[in-house]
Structure 1
Amino acid sequence: MDLSIVIPIKDEADNLADLFAEIVSAIEPTHYSYEVIIIDDGSRDDSWEVLTSLISKYSFIRAYRFQFNCGKAAALSLGFSKAKGHYVATLDGDLQDDPLEIPKMIRILESGYDLVSGWKKRRHDPWHKTWPSKLFNLTVSFVCGQRLHDFNCGIKVYRSSVVRFIPLYGDFHRFIPVMAKWQGFRITEMPVTHRARVHGVSKYGVSRLVSGFLDLLTLLFLKSFGAKPLHFFGLIGLLFVFCGLGITGYFGIEWLQTGALRVRPLLLMGGFSLVMGVQFISLGLLGEMMNQNKKQTYPVAEVLPELTLPLEKPYEIS
């Protein structure tokens, strides 16, 4: 299988017929063998019924329906796990992405990249969507060191090894290029056509900006301390312990000199600091124990002597 196209949808019944027609027009001339994987993320309209009717016409469709809305990251994660193609493309189901861009992005991918991300250079969205998006993209580029103009662009093309190694949960789908760069994959972007929405309503708004920044903080924390939680919790715990030891030590010396010990708020604070320090250190140790029991994966790119089959995913070490 040359190409898998993963499309998460939610309430896109009016767009599906045109979407598949555009995919056929874009991919058939390339002579790629391909499949289209649709993840219905808890649609409340007739999206699933439309998919059921279209499968008889398009044999390349594989569709999965969530019982309820789980989010785009969960939908993409399921689609990636089911993809069989050497290349994996993603696009949104709202017809704002043009499938004709996929073959162009594959050609760029074949020039030596692992991920090609779309860049909606000319957006057909209202200002209350474009300006928060620009602020978010600038912040992520600066903080994470991966320069891209459009992290949220739905159309991307990957080598299969990328999607099999990048973990997805929450709303981390927007940070796939960042996580891929941190894992040593080669990233670039390509300007793509962005069209105005014809049917349905947008699922995104200004509120996503706040959640995006919170997800960014989570991602940075996991990158720095995910493998060594004791380095984070232990440091905080030691600060509390040293503070508590200093305070209680002061009152201990005073007691040795005067023989009297008066209960003061500062003494209580010292005891509280010791308890908090021990708890933080214990939390870090608990995290270390959980990491020890977790199956480890390593991004092995090549093996010598060479394997007879291509290496599509990292080795798992029990």
Structure 2
Amino acid sequence: MASLSVIVPLLNERESIPELIDQLYLAMEEPELRTLFPDPFSFEIIMVDDGSTDGSNRVIEGLIDSRPELRLISFQRNFGKTAALSAGFMAATGEYLCTIDADLQDDPFAIKTLLKKLMEGYDLVSGWKQNRKDPLSKTLPSKLFNTVTRLFTGITIHDFNCGLKVYRSEVTRRLELHGDMHRYIPVMAEWMGFKITELPVAHRARQFGTTKYSSARFLPGLFDFLSVLFITRYLRRPMHFFGMAGLGSFLLGFAISLYVTLDKILLHKPVSNRPILFLGILLLILGVQLFSTGLLGEMLSTSASKGSSFTVRKTMNLTTGQAAAIGGADSVRG
């Protein structure tokens, strides 16, 4: 069992990998970091290849023989960063975990600073890229995303999507990530009652490759944001959401229908050709349907099963237990 597990999700980062691994090893050798852990200190670096097509996995395979702490999880195809992080969390054996992007924009030597903050009693410490070295096409949408997330969740984190984070293993064991929910890990952790904070970290310009960010992520990101809001507020009590909406719809429909009925009885107005009558009936039906949905949600919330949203093609240098945890094939020992 490792003291610290470093998880690196990657996609087509062949040029960055050797330098990143060298820097991670140097960061793990820092005396200031090692004093945070009881002797003997041990670590593992879990590289999760999210279906790269540039030979990234072969670069890692070539380094494993000389780097016994290096692990490889290689996906069958590209499943996304959330799936890559989920696989890394499942395979990690460390009491503490760190996630870091593979593009060399995050500074591995900041890990010790984040861990020192974690040791003050926090469960998750997120990096905050105060001075981002990215184009406006990335920084402006990111600022909008962070502002909206803070507004709706009440969590005062400035950079929810920073790839550099450190966790206690209790946090990652309880996270259930789907879609692109890796952006909302601090939100989900805070909702579960964990203590979170952030620290400013250095951010570096990209040296190799191209960004994986595109405008096509906006719409899926919006849907995931709505999902997270629902999960964090109503997952265990869906009736509170659907029931209130259903009750409001039903009462409004009932009021409209009562109004039309009184008009017919007292004023002898015809009802068959009045559009408001159909609106009232529609709202009554919608109210019943929403209420029924809430009841079904209450029943399903107690029996929901966990499932992985990725398929592992190959693992290297993982123990049998690690390979079994992520549902992979037998591990190839390096």
How far apart are the structure 2 equivalents of 1:150 and 1:161? 22
Q: 1:45 to 1:240 in 2, by over 3 A?
A: same
Which whole-Å CA distance do the structure 1 matches of 2:203 and 2:260 have between them?
69
1:106 match: 115
Q: Does 1:281 pair with 2:282?
A: no
Q: d(CA) in 1 for partners of 2:267 and 2:128?
A: 73
Distance 1:122 1:262 in 2: 65
Query: Quick check: 1:60 aligned with 2:69?
Result: yes
Question: How far did 1:103 drift?
Answer: 1.8
Aligned residue number for residue 42 of structure 1: 51
Deviation at 1:27, TM superposition (A): 0.5
Q: What is the distance in 2 between the residues matched to 1:268 and 1:206?
A: 41
Equivalent residue number for residue 138 of structure 1: 147
Deviates more, 1:276-285 or 1:230-239: 230-239
Tell me if the contact between 1:120 and 1:191 (Cα under 8 Å) persists in the aligned partners: yes
One-letter code of the match for 1:133?
Answer: S
Distance 2:153 2:284 in 1: 36
Question: Do 1:9 and 1:93's aligned partners in 2 also have CA atoms closer than 8 Å?
Answer: yes
Aligned equivalents of 1:292, 1:182: Cα separation in 2: 18
Aligned to 2:169: 160
**In structure 2, C-alpha distance between the alignment counterparts of 1:144 and 1:274, rounded to whole Å:** 32
User: 1:219 corresponds to which residue?
Assistant: 228
Query: Which structure 2 residues correspond to residues 85-104 of structure 1 after superposition, within 5 A?
Result: 85-104=94-113
Which letter does structure 1 place at the counterpart of 2:193?
G
* Matching of residue 128 in structure 1 with residue 137 in structure 2: yes
Alignment correspondent of 2:17: 16
User: Residue in 2 aligned with 1:192?
Assistant: 201
CA distance in structure 2 between the aligned counterparts of 1:140 and 1:270, rounded to whole angstroms: 36
- What CA distance in whole angstroms lies between the structure 1 residues aligned with 2:69 and 2:298? 45
Distance change >3 Å, CA 250–CA 178, structure 1 → 2? closer
Per-residue CA deviations over 1:226-260 (Å, capped at 9, x if unaligned) read: 22212222222223322333333344455656899
Is 1:267 aligned with 2:277? yes
Change (3 A) 1:260 1:120: closer
My pick for the range that moved more, 38-47 or 243-252, is 243-252
* Equivalence for 1:6: 7
Counterpart residue identity of residue 64, structure 2: I
Picking from 149, 159, 170, the partner of 2:158 is 149
SS in 2 for 1:48: helix
Greater RCO between the two (CA within 8 Å, min separation 6)? 2
Report which stretch shifted further, 132-141 or 157-166.
132-141
Q: Say which of 82, 86, 93 aligns to 1:77.
A: 86
Displacement over 6 Å in runs of 4+:
257-261
Deviations 1:290-310 (A, max 9, x none): 1233479xxxxxxxxxxxxxx
Cα deviation code 1:240-288 (max 9, x no counterpart): 3223333333444556568996522333333332222221111111111
Is 1:239 paired with 2:240?
A: no
Change (3 A) 1:257 1:149: closer
Give the 3 Å change call, closer, same or farther, for CA 269–136 of structure 1 in structure 2. Answer: closer
Distance in 1, Cα, partners of 2:198 & 2:257: 58
Bigger drift between 33-42 and 164-173 goes to 164-173
Code of the residue aligned with 2:11 in structure 1: it is K
Q: Partners in 2 of 1:269 and 1:134 — Cα distance? A: 41
For each residue in 1:106-136, what CA deviation from the matched residue of structure 2 results, as whole angstroms up to 9, or x when unmatched?
1221122211211222221112212222222
CA distance in 1, matches of 2:4, 2:99: 11
Contact 1:136 1:213 in 2 (8 A): no
Instruction: Show the counterpart of 1:313.
Output: none
Deviates more, 1:41-50 or 1:228-237: 228-237
What is the aligned residue count? 296
The secondary structure found in structure 2 opposite 1:63 is strand
Query: Which letter does structure 1 place at the counterpart of 2:179?
Result: G
User: Residues of 1 paired with 2:17 and 2:302: CA distance?
Assistant: 46
Of the structure 1 ranges 75-84 and 269-278, higher mean CA displacement relative to structure 2 is found in 269-278
Secondary structure at the counterpart of residue 102 of structure 2 = coil
Is residue 129–residue 206 contact of structure 1 (8 Å, CA) maintained in 2? no
Of residues 206-215 and 142-151 in structure 1, the stretch that sits farther from structure 2 once superposed is 206-215
Question: Structure 2 length normalisation: TM-score?
Answer: 0.81
Q: Which runs of 5+ in 2 are unaligned?
A: 35-40, 307-334
Overall identity of the aligned pairs, in %: 45
After superposition, the Cα gap between the structure-2 partners of 1:266 and 1:193, relative to the gap in structure 1 and judged at 3 Å, is closer
Report the aligned-residue RMSD.
Answer: 2.3
1:267 to 1:213, Cα distance in 2 relative to 1, 3 A: closer
List runs of 5+ in structure 1 lacking aligned partners: 297-318
* Aligned counterparts of 1:20 and 1:64: Cα–Cα separation in 2: 15
